[in-house]
Amino acid sequence: MIDIRHDLHRNPELGFEEHRTARKVAFELKSYGLEVHEGIGGTGVVGILRKGRGNQAIALRADMDALPIHETSSHQYCSTTSGKMHACGHDGHTAMLLGAAQFLSEKKSFDGTVVFIFQPNEENGLGAAAMVKDNLLEKFPVDEIYGLHNLPGAPLGAFSTRSGTICSSESLFEIRITARGGHSAMPQKGVDAILVGAEIVQAFQSIVARKMDPGCGAVVSITEFTTNGRRNVLPGKAILKGDVRARTPDDREQIKSHMQRLLNGITQGHDVAADFSFNTEFIETINSAEPTQIAIQAAKKISDNVNGDREPMSFSEDFALFSQEMPGCFMLMGNGTEGAHGKPLHASDYDFNDDALTIGAAFWAQLVANRLPE
């Protein structure tokens, strides 16, 4: 698993470009004797392992894509592709699931079918939809699905999840303000787009602070503010872009409604026009009760550090689409607290912990043993 992980780390590929990664995954699965299907949802790979006569089927999912980040690590297996790296641990997720596939194919008896899903393009929230559109669930029907993600800063071997919302949604918004620019010495002759935009920025920060339940866990962030102003020219146009995280669809819609109402009031007060778009890239990841309990019990078999009722995470996950289509559970696993293993996800000096590989693979094997007992 370490060799596979390091090879994938040296050769990162972005979403829907995982051609080399997919070939390697398919090669490994075939070498274990699995039935392999390639090109699902573009570059996705599916492996099928059947044992016994049981009719129950479960899916185990890993993501394969890297990020457009220039790696600043100093280890011996750094990315060989400038501007691309595995900064979210998908190299480790893929290696763990391959390790579990090999172990289950050779040594572990169970009764039923395990579908190993290697998903492309998780980072952009497009891979799961592409696989579903390619009839993944019709071609390989399963009763439930499970996902596993590393968590830097959590102790190695620690597991955590919860029933209900485990990851927030992500919605991207954009506001295009059309005001009336003018001379900076005569601001009364026009309408300053910066002033309008600044009011919007401040007003939006009141949404979570004063219009939502204090415990809702929502986040509203303005991440870009650009104008066409110059040294002595008041801008007539401004673009605001940002990001909204929410733990429930209702909260997400409430935030959108508040944003639209505040925007309308501010722009009308300044007699300017504004176009507003709000697009949800990732829906909330919601764990079903029964699969979550099954995953917790599997984790407890291999770890004495298991939290089955953790706080929801503010990041988003493409696994959400799978768990919307069928019962599922998304589990988090500690990556360690020291050095590169404790760096935040998407940091240029983050690294997946090789010591977590056997822990993750053991979790997968235990989950299959528990859910598909011989």
**CA end-to-end span of the chain, whole Å?**
26
Residue 273, both tokens: 């026009």
70 is in an annotated binding site: no
Which residue has 């570059």 as its token pair?
A: 43
Q: What are phi and psi of 10, to 5 degrees?
A: -70, -25
Q: Which amino acid is at 242?
A: G
Q: How buried is 129 (Cβ within 10 angstroms: 0-12 exposed, 13-18 middle, 19+ buried)? A: middle
Long-range contacts formed by 303-307: CB under 8 A, 24+ apart: 303/157, 303/158, 303/159, 303/359, 305/155, 305/157, 305/158, 305/159, 305/334, 306/158, 306/159, 306/160, 307/158, 307/159, 307/160, 307/161
Neighbours of 340 (CB within 10 A): 17
Instruction: Judge whether 270 is annotated as a binding position.
Output: no
Contacts 24+ apart (CB under 8 A), 32-40: 32/101, 32/102, 32/105, 32/106, 33/105, 34/101, 34/105, 34/116, 37/139, 37/140, 40/131, 40/134, 40/136, 40/139
Amino acid identity of residue 120, one-letter, is P
Whole-angstrom distance, CA of residue 70 vs CA of residue 349: 9
Tell me the helices (H) and strands (E) count for the chain, helix number first. Answer: 10, 16
Give the residue among 136, 162, 163, 145 at the shortest CA–CA distance from 97.
145
Confirm or deny that 90 is annotated as ligand binding. yes
> Measured between alpha carbons, how far is 268 from 265 in angstroms, rounded to an integer?
5
CA–chain centroid gap for 292, Å, is: 18
User: Binding site: residue ranges?
Assistant: 88, 90, 123, 149, 346
Which residues make up each annotated binding site for Mn(2+)?
Answer: 88, 90, 123, 149, 346
